[in-house]
Chains A and B, each alone.
Chain A
């Protein structure tokens, strides 16, 4: 769908959202990031011990700190997201809302069911946007969105080698653009970044660190890590490297089924796993940190995120056995919550050095 035809924006909040379908509907997907100065009002509806990511998104919804949305697409990725859907319906009574079920596994039956959920989304989007979404629309959107992952891959390589101007904060800014701006603007921004001349020598001499966790979208937090002496060379984050992956697509086959499989089998969030390999997430993090050449790992998770909190002990154990130092941080999506941990971060980096 060409940008000039886009006249509607659809909100979303999870990396599992099928952006290509939102694009195929002629809408611009807009990730509602938990970055805002809105007053804290979500606590009226949701308990204090619920995910700050979700509560900040709800704060934005209550404060109308959002672009005009034709609707919001939420994924049933965790308890907090389910509660967000409930609360959203309460505070934004006129917004069309859909909550898609997301299986925790990626076997064939799960893929088939999730395909049905994508079909349900397609029907909803058609109704919201006033026109049917064809398989041709979907195929065209897949082609468009498949342009992004190779660009991010090239930028990630440069980041890893210390040759991306602006470092991880710049990279996060590019992710944020791709999550919130129109597709054409995102593509253009990424292409410009890739076209920039590469510096021959690494731009800083921080200690290479692998960063994993859930939501960490504020580029200032990345800058802060670097001010503590770290150089974030790769990540495994919901608001980072897990966002844009290539969809293997054959136009002769069921498009929705291919999108469903692609989403369920991409590098998983902690909430998706293979029952045959329990806690493999820990090994995956270790392997990625090792492959990136990281001297240490920082795990940054949002408070009250059960999918991560309950799997962190395994990550800690696996990295310990592999001899890779780990620093676990908890935050509430704000820079302030990370800054309070400066001493710990600096001590960790000094230890790595």
Chain B
């Protein structure tokens, strides 16, 4: 895997150097992802496997190479290598009804394809299954586990509780690395995070343009993966590259999807393995996925003088946290801002927290006139992917959207 990521990074660097003056946002983003993969597998870095809501800017400031474990599941699916790891996990008793991201990770860890961490940090947000997987990995690797309990309520008491845990987490990391937190590095990391946040906010604003400069592929997994780079200069560079690219496209009148006719929202996670659905939408129907649920700035800038409080507020504000009304309001906000025609919810099989409420989410978007297509897909495990059926359902949905008066 180390060689795979190293070669991938080298290939992307070469391509960027061919046109160094272009923003190349997706290439810069992919490059940083490949570099992270390389560091995780290098055997030289201090590695922490984490949950999704962990403050990675703090870990980056402390010199950690850290990543949420679902990243591994997504990477294995994207490269078409996940099947033997699902089989390994299932043979060990992890049933197919559970989350595909987690099954892939557990299989990879059992087959020793996942690098051994120095320690693990779980977060109770977004899901119960994620915490259980971290407990399994801590047991398997025989490494210490720290748990961040992320409260649901965005109250002063909840923020203070989580902020205290994040402070304790910094102590836990320092104890393992032998390097105490450098306050200047943390301040710089927070400033980088805030800068990247502002650039991403601008970039998302640009993506709302009609027609949109994005194309349904440029921002795949962006809101999920970018937190891994928070606190670094790379995050700022990537965000700036996207902003510059979108600005240039709008100035030149370039639409992400030529002759954009329909604007769609993708709920929660994309399908991680190679599939024809996005291309079908774009090429045959000029339907553009202009927004992903997690591609948004939902947190305030972090006060460098009180970073733990800001990080706690950010974690609690993740749209997948809290009650469904909060999530629906966020989706409605996106629907209005992006002038959406419809939404697609893949209903990732095995995801209780996200898919569990699909009926409530559908109702919430329908309230503001946005129809929702609920699919039945395991976004990571391709073994049961029925492309033909999905194509038929997508086509029917798009034809319905296209026939609505507001789309004509």
CB interface residues, B 141-193, toward A, < 8 Å: 144-147, 149, 151-153, 157-158, 161, 164-165, 168
Q: Say yes or no: is B323 at the interface (Cβ < 8 Å to chain A).
A: yes
Q: Say yes or no: is B19 at the interface (Cβ < 8 Å to chain A).
A: no
Q: Say yes or no: is B350 at the interface (Cβ < 8 Å to chain A).
A: yes
Q: Which residue of B lies closest to A46 (CB)?
A: B356
Residues A309 and B356 in contact in the complex (CB < 8 Å), given A273-B135, A275-B146: no
Is A306's CB under 8 angstroms from B168's CB? no
Q: Which residue of B lies closest to A103 (CB)?
A: B149
Q: Say yes or no: is B97 at the interface (Cβ < 8 Å to chain A).
A: yes
Is A306's CB under 8 angstroms from B357's CB? no
Is A311's CB under 8 angstroms from B157's CB? no
Q: Say yes or no: is B324 at the interface (Cβ < 8 Å to chain A).
A: yes
Is B352's CB under 8 angstroms from A104's CB? no
Q: Give Cα A309 to B157, complex, Å.
A: 32
Contact mask for chain A residues 59-78; partner B; CB cutoff 8 A; 1 contact, 0 none: 00000000000000000101
Contact mask for chain B residues 106-137; partner A; CB cutoff 8 A; 1 contact, 0 none: 00000000000000001010011101110110
Q: Say yes or no: is B275 at the interface (Cβ < 8 Å to chain A).
A: no
Q: Which residue of A lies closest to B350 (CB)?
A: A49
Q: Say yes or no: is B102 at the interface (Cβ < 8 Å to chain A).
A: yes
Is B152's CB under 8 angstroms from A82's CB? yes
Shortest distance from the beta carbon of A83 to any chain B beta carbon, whole Å: 4
List of A residues within 8 angstroms of B146 by Cβ: 275
Q: Say yes or no: is B333 at the interface (Cβ < 8 Å to chain A).
A: no
Is A78's CB under 8 angstroms from B128's CB? yes
- Give the contacting residue for B136; candidates A76, A113, A275, A310; CB below 8 A: A310
List of A residues within 8 angstroms of B323 by Cβ: 82, 85-86, 89, 99
Q: Give Cα A82 to B139, complex, Å.
A: 27
Q: Say yes or no: is A123 at the interface (Cβ < 8 Å to chain B).
A: no
- Give the contacting residue for B127; candidates A47, A79, A276; CB below 8 A: A79
Q: Say yes or no: is B62 at the interface (Cβ < 8 Å to chain A).
A: no
Q: Say yes or no: is A159 at the interface (Cβ < 8 Å to chain B).
A: no
CB interface residues, B 331-354, toward A, < 8 Å: 347, 349-350, 352-353
Q: Give Cα A125 to B249, complex, Å.
A: 57
Q: Give Cα A99 to B135, complex, Å.
A: 25
Is B94's CB under 8 angstroms from A309's CB? yes
Residues A49 and B325 in contact in the complex (CB < 8 Å), given A44-B359, A311-B136: no
Contact mask for chain A residues 270-282; partner B; CB cutoff 8 A; 1 contact, 0 none: 1101011011000
Residues A46 and B92 in contact in the complex (CB < 8 Å), given A101-B153, A109-B164: no
Q: Which residue of B lies closest to A277 (CB)?
A: B139
Is A270's CB under 8 angstroms from B132's CB? yes
List of A residues within 8 angstroms of B363 by Cβ: 45, 90
Q: Give Cα A44 to B98, complex, Å.
A: 21
Q: Say yes or no: is A110 at the interface (Cβ < 8 Å to chain B).
A: yes
Residues A314 and B139 in contact in the complex (CB < 8 Å), given A45-B357, A50-B352, A303-B97: yes
- Give the contacting residue for B352; candidates A51, A112, A270; CB below 8 A: A51
Q: Which residue of B lies closest to A303 (CB)?
A: B97
Residues A304 and B151 in contact in the complex (CB < 8 Å), given A44-B359, A101-B158, A278-B136: no
- What total of chain B residues lie within 8 Å of the partner, measured CB to CB? 49
Q: Which residue of B lies closest to A328 (CB)?
A: B93
Is A306's CB under 8 angstroms from B129's CB? yes
Residues A113 and B98 in contact in the complex (CB < 8 Å), given A49-B355, A310-B129: no
Q: Say yes or no: is A219 at the interface (Cβ < 8 Å to chain B).
A: no
Is A104's CB under 8 angstroms from B147's CB? yes
Is A311's CB under 8 angstroms from B356's CB? no
Q: Which residue of B lies closest to A90 (CB)?
A: B360
List of A residues within 8 angstroms of B349 by Cβ: 49
Residues A110 and B356 in contact in the complex (CB < 8 Å), given A99-B323, A104-B124, A306-B98: no
Shortest distance from the beta carbon of A344 to any chain B beta carbon, whole Å: 16
Shortest distance from the beta carbon of B322 to any chain A beta carbon, whole Å: 9
Q: Give Cα A112 to B95, complex, Å.
A: 36
Is A309's CB under 8 angstroms from B97's CB? yes
Is B352's CB under 8 angstroms from A304's CB? yes
Is B356's CB under 8 angstroms from A80's CB? yes
Contact mask for chain A residues 252-292; partner B; CB cutoff 8 A; 1 contact, 0 none: 00000000000000000011010110110000000000000
List of B residues within 8 angstroms of A112 by Cβ: 161
Is B360's CB under 8 angstroms from A278's CB? no
Q: Say yes or no: is A14 at the interface (Cβ < 8 Å to chain B).
A: no
Contact mask for chain B residues 306-327; partner A; CB cutoff 8 A; 1 contact, 0 none: 0000000000000000011100
List of A residues within 8 angstroms of B35 by Cβ: none
Is A109's CB under 8 angstroms from B168's CB? yes
Q: Say yes or no: is A10 at the interface (Cβ < 8 Å to chain B).
A: no
Most buried by A among B133, B161, B347: B161
Q: Say yes or no: is B330 at the interface (Cβ < 8 Å to chain A).
A: no
Contact mask for chain A residues 18-55; partner B; CB cutoff 8 A; 1 contact, 0 none: 00000000000000000000000001111101110000
Q: Give Cα A279 to B124, complex, Å.
A: 16
Q: Which residue of B lies closest to A306 (CB)?
A: B129
List of B residues within 8 angstroms of A166 by Cβ: none
Q: Say yes or no: is B228 at the interface (Cβ < 8 Å to chain A).
A: no
Q: Say yes or no: is B198 at the interface (Cβ < 8 Å to chain A).
A: no
Shortest distance from the beta carbon of B209 to any chain A beta carbon, whole Å: 34
Is B135's CB under 8 angstroms from A306's CB? no
Shortest distance from the beta carbon of B34 to any chain A beta carbon, whole Å: 30
Shortest distance from the beta carbon of B133 to any chain A beta carbon, whole Å: 6
Q: Give Cα A85 to B152, complex, Å.
A: 12
Contact mask for chain B residues 58-102; partner A; CB cutoff 8 A; 1 contact, 0 none: 000000000000000000000000000000000011110111001
Shortest distance from the beta carbon of A112 to any chain B beta carbon, whole Å: 8
Shortest distance from the beta carbon of A334 to any chain B beta carbon, whole Å: 18
Q: Give Cα A230 to B135, complex, Å.
A: 33
Q: Which residue of A lies closest to B130 (CB)?
A: A306
Is A79's CB under 8 angstroms from B161's CB? no
List of B residues within 8 angstroms of A103 by Cβ: 124, 149
- Give the contacting residue for A310; candidates B98, B151, B355, B359; CB below 8 A: B98
Q: Say yes or no: is B358 at the interface (Cβ < 8 Å to chain A).
A: yes
Shortest distance from the beta carbon of A236 to any chain B beta carbon, whole Å: 17
- Give the contacting residue for A83; candidates B129, B144, B324, B350; CB below 8 A: B324
Shortest distance from the beta carbon of B86 to any chain A beta carbon, whole Å: 14
**Apart from the given pairs A46-B356, A85-B323, A110-B149, 7 other A-B contacts in the complex at a CB distance below 8 Å:** A44-B359, A90-B360, A101-B152, A275-B138, A304-B97, A310-B136, A311-B136
26 interchain pairs, CB-CB under 8 A: A45-B357, A47-B356, A49-B355, A51-B352, A79-B128, A79-B356, A80-B352, A86-B325, A87-B357, A89-B323, A89-B325, A90-B360, A101-B151, A101-B153, A101-B158, A109-B165, A112-B161, A270-B132, A271-B132, A275-B122, A275-B138, A275-B146, A278-B138, A278-B145, A279-B139, A313-B94
- 7 closest residue pairs by CB, A with B: A310-B132, A313-B93, A86-B324, A306-B129, A45-B359, A79-B352, A79-B353
